[in-house]
Structure 1
Amino acid sequence: MSRTFAVPAADPAAAVTHFLARLGVETDVADVHADLTAEVPALVVVDSRGDAAWDQGHLPGAVHLPTALIAERAAGVVPPGARVVTYCWGPGCDGATRAALEFARLGYPVKEMRGGYEYWVREGLPVVTATGRTHRPVDDLTAPRPAAGCDC
């Protein structure tokens, strides 16, 4: 007996609906990095963490807008018509989810970046700190080694 399919898989039509819904509200670190590198217009990446976390390091090009301040300050920070991606610490934190909810309530098209700052750093991508732009080595449990490719 399969433990994986002890509960039968959804019928394909229900699965399509489910996965499209997830992809409509979530994105991943690699895709955000690709869009930032390509300078995709009208994309605003929002770091929803507090001041100390922002100062510890953040994504290049991100704007700092803690979740508790989004309703009050979003209009002054994020232009109308912008597409928003939110992030917080990592997969164990709901901060980016709460931030995305606030942006959705304000009418912005928004996605949450799965993995957050943790996976951005673990994938060896650049961050900005008080000392400038830096990055850590790739953690091969979260990203392929340079000679390998995820190809997903």
Structure 2
Amino acid sequence: MTSQRSTAGHPVLAVPPASPAAAVAYFGASLAFHADVSDVAAALLAGGDPGFVVLDSRSAAAWDQGRIPGAVHLPTALVAERAAALLDPATPVVVYCWGPGCNGATRAALALAELGHQVKEMLGGFEYWVREGFPFETREGERRRTADPLTAPAEGEDCGC
């Protein structure tokens, strides 16, 4: 005898999943708007032109504390004023700020899009760049921390996703 569990009151399925067509549209759009930290790192660390520029949208103090090597510094509040002097509108931009608890990169991405730039937000921001063990720069030079095993595989570079 098989028992059917009711989903009534169950929070996961209280709102049914979207149709496959709606899921394709949503997740496809999500990939158009977001870039993964490890994908950005792989493109940058491979050498050569990755086909995009990385933009750090944090303050000068945050930039000095640490940044992704090769990133352009343009604080969110200054995007409208300075983007034309720093960025080629034909080159896609990947924006980051502190981490998942900060929406500075989202606001910077919106401002860049309003100026006509193709833009993606890097999920996890600088926090996850460092937590995944990728190199970063400070005034003192390049640094790298051991990858946090809760954010990156303990063995190897590729998470397999």
Q: TM-score range by the shorter chain?
A: over 0.9
Does the alignment pair 1:26 with 2:67? no
Q: Equivalent residue for 1:138? A: 147
Shift of 1:35: 1.5
For the aligned residues, what is the CA RMSD?
Answer: 1.4
Match of 2:74 among 60, 65, 72: 65
Shift of 1:40: 3.2
Query: Secondary structure at the residue paired with 2:62?
Result: helix
Query: Secondary structure at the residue paired with 1:21?
Result: helix
Q: Please give the residue correspondences for 1:33-48 in structure 2 after superposition, counting only pairs within 5 Å.
A: 33-38=41-46, 39-48=48-57
Does the alignment pair 1:116 with 2:125? yes
* Largest Rg, 1 or 2: 2
TM-score, with length taken from structure 1: 0.95
Q: Which amino acid aligns with 2:66?
A: G
Shift of 1:36: 1.2
Match of 1:74 among 64, 83, 88: 83
- How many residue pairs align between the two structures? 152
TM-score, with length taken from structure 2: 0.90
Shift of 1:147: 4.8
The structure-2 alpha-carbon separation of the partners of 1:67 and 1:35, relative to structure 1 and needing over 3 Å to count, comes to same
Q: Does the 8 A contact of 1:125 with 1:136 survive in 2? A: yes
Q: Equivalent residue for 1:6? A: 14
Shift of 1:42: 3.9
Shift of 1:3: 3.3
Match of 2:65 among 39, 56, 59: 56
Identity %: 59
Gaps of 5+ in 2: 1-6
Match of 1:17 among 10, 13, 25: 25
Q: Which amino acid aligns with 1:25?
A: F
Match of 2:107 among 77, 95, 98: 98
Q: Which amino acid aligns with 2:81?
A: E
Using the TM superposition, name which of 140-149 and 48-57 deviates more. Answer: 140-149
The structure-2 alpha-carbon separation of the partners of 1:101 and 1:11, relative to structure 1 and needing over 3 Å to count, comes to same
Q: Does the 8 A contact of 2:100 with 2:125 survive in 1? A: yes
Q: Does the 8 A contact of 1:42 with 1:81 survive in 2? A: no
